[in-house]
Chains A and B, each alone.
Chain A
Amino acid sequence: MASNPMAEDIIVIEGLHKYFGDVAAVCGFDLRVKTGEVVVIVGPSGSGKSTVLRCINHLEVPTMGAVYVDGIHLEDKETDINEVRAEVGMVFQQFNLFGHLSVLDNVVLAQRLVRKRSRDEAETVAMEQLQRVGIPEKANAFPRQLSGGQQQRVAIACSLAMNPKIMLFDEPTSALDPEMIKEVLDVMLDSARAGMTMVVVTHEMGFARSAADRVVFMDKGCIVETDSPDKLFSTPEHERTKLFLSKIISH
């Protein structure tokens, strides 16, 4: 790629295309995220939001285009993707906690294998993070004994325990019962206020309003418009954005 990513842009996505067979999920997506910035991606289902997010930690390989994380070109053959992923936390819609491990061991596992921390150190960090997400008393429980909201908070603790530079959230509240959404959003908000760089795919417009520096509206694999949450939600420029917002806010 011709353009060199600027130093303060911790995530740079240039001309991203992703095809699944003949189906174009993302076609021509550009985004730059500064350190400490919170970017929320919204849009109708199938608009390619999750695919973009999954390209940022290389869970999906772009068909065309380039993704740089902290100046490292992910598609470069020389890149050790595991090193990059250690710096990029990912929170999934389905939590994906490891069912055979206790909550504490879930948070400890990657710290030991990837960060090479001693058991004592990893457990100390794990307890700090569980404290932070508000469920230290569940350290010895197993994931299946927890509610969805609790599981998702543990998943966030797992990522935060790695001290990542970036956190990615892929519809973190979409699989939750309504009364559990707030507890997860509160943890995310706390993380955002602490200065974490975050890219969030969500349908929670309230979260976007209070936490986002920028909102990106996507449709059919492209960016329709991007703006501060206040402007995008109150005075959207494009018809497509207006239509989408009218549909989700009218109830």
Chain B
Amino acid sequence: MAVDAERMTQQSEGRFNARAFPWWLVAIIGFLAIMLALIITNPDYNRAFNFIKGGLGSFSDLLAGDLAAFIGRGLSMTIYVTLVAFAVALLIGLLAGLGRISGNVVIRNVAITYIEFIRGVPTLVLIFTVALVLVPTVSDTLGLANQVISNPTRAIISLAIIYGAFLAEVFRAGIESVPHGQMEAARSLGLNSRQAMRHVILPQAIRNVLPALGNDFIAMLKDSSLVSVLAVRDITQQARLYAGSTFRFRESYLVLTFLYLSMTIALSLILRWYERRLKQDGK
């Protein structure tokens, strides 16, 4: 179906094609536009929006270099948790993915244990377990006071450990997508296996999995809402607080939906554009 639609757009380039036209996007943008209009014109929605976003940003904040205040404390918490947790998850995922295909029995089994363990437990349960059991246990062992590690940090550690397992499988698939001949050619030139992996296999593997990584980033942005259970004041927590204190559930959760959807749709459009460009380059 998708292929058909693409072919039809190519054939009738320049002419309007009702079958290939992205009506779904019109519907979603329509929803976002209505929400935006409500937030601007309706005082109830406006108050909810300002509270959830975490304060009304002004240009003086931006000039003062306080980016968090400018985009709102709640929204900046969501973005901060997502970005940092994803960066750490990339590192964990790369290491676990390499471990997953390692020739060393111990390393390989440690990596598989981690991946299968994480994949077998619900995300919400893992967040509780990591933040309230694993982190205190480790910090006790290291002799740190339990309070030293803040809730947002716990949230980041939880999400990074969870997504590291998913990204490990993405990296493994990427490495396996590079033809075996590439490794043979690299080794034949005298590169050792580490050099071949770093300079020949990984650059191509990562390029192959960039779209998949993008999808996981979007998933992470959405799953960052789960950290509200740790009382981290991201936009979800802000919405819950606002709804709880004002009983304006409709405004709270519609605004929350609006915030997530506008971010994920923007990211997913960028990703589509990038994938299309990648496809054109590849041919």
Contact (Cβ within 8 A) B182 A110: no
B191 touches which one: A100, A114, A144, A155 (CB < 8 A)? A114
Asked if B190 and A109 sit within 8 Å, CB to CB, the answer is: no
Which A residues between 82 and 126 are near B, CB-CB below 8 angstroms?
Answer: 82-83, 85-86, 88-90, 92, 94, 96-100, 109-110, 113-114
Binary flags per residue of B198-226, CB closer than 8 Å to A gives 1, else 0: 01100110010000000000000000000
Given contacts A92-B181, A109-B199, A113-B195, contact A100 B190 (CB under 8 A): no
Chain A residue with Cβ nearest B283:
A144
B199 surroundings in chain A (CB, below 8 A): 109, 113
A98 engages B182 (CB within 8 Å) = yes
Q: Determine if A47 is an interface residue (Cβ-Cβ < 8 Å).
A: no
Report yes or no: A96 in contact with B190, Cβ–Cβ below 8 A. no
| Interface 0/1 of A126-166, CB less than 8 Å to B | 00000000000000000010000000000100110010000
B187-A85 in contact (CB<8A): yes
Asked if B192 CB lies within 8 Å of chain A CBs, one says yes
- Is B133 part of the contact surface with A, judged by Cβ < 8 Å? no
- Pairwise interchain contact A57-B188, C-beta atoms closer than 8 A: yes
- Verify A90–B195 contact, CB threshold 8 A: no
Q: Across the interface, which residues of B come within 8 angstroms of A162, CB to CB? A: 189-190
Residue of A with least CB distance to B190: A86
Find residues 151-191 in chain B having any chain A CB closer than 8 Å to their own CB: 179, 181-182, 184-191
Closest chain A residue, CB of each to CB of B185: A96
Neighbour of A82 across the interface among B179, B185, B192, B282, CB < 8 A: B192
**Cβ-defined contact, B189 with A59, below 8 A:** no
B189 engages A85 (CB within 8 Å): yes
Question: Which of B181, B186, B189, B204 has the most chain A CB within a 10 Å cutoff?
Answer: B189
- Do B200 and A98 touch across chains, with their CB atoms under 8 A apart? yes
Question: A113 vs B190: C-alpha distance in the bound complex, in angstroms?
Answer: 9
- Find out whether the CB atom of A100 lies under 8 angstroms from the CB atom of B203: yes
In whole angstroms, how far apart are the Cα atoms of A110 and B195 in the complex?
Answer: 10
Smallest Cβ-Cβ distance to B192: which chain A residue: A82
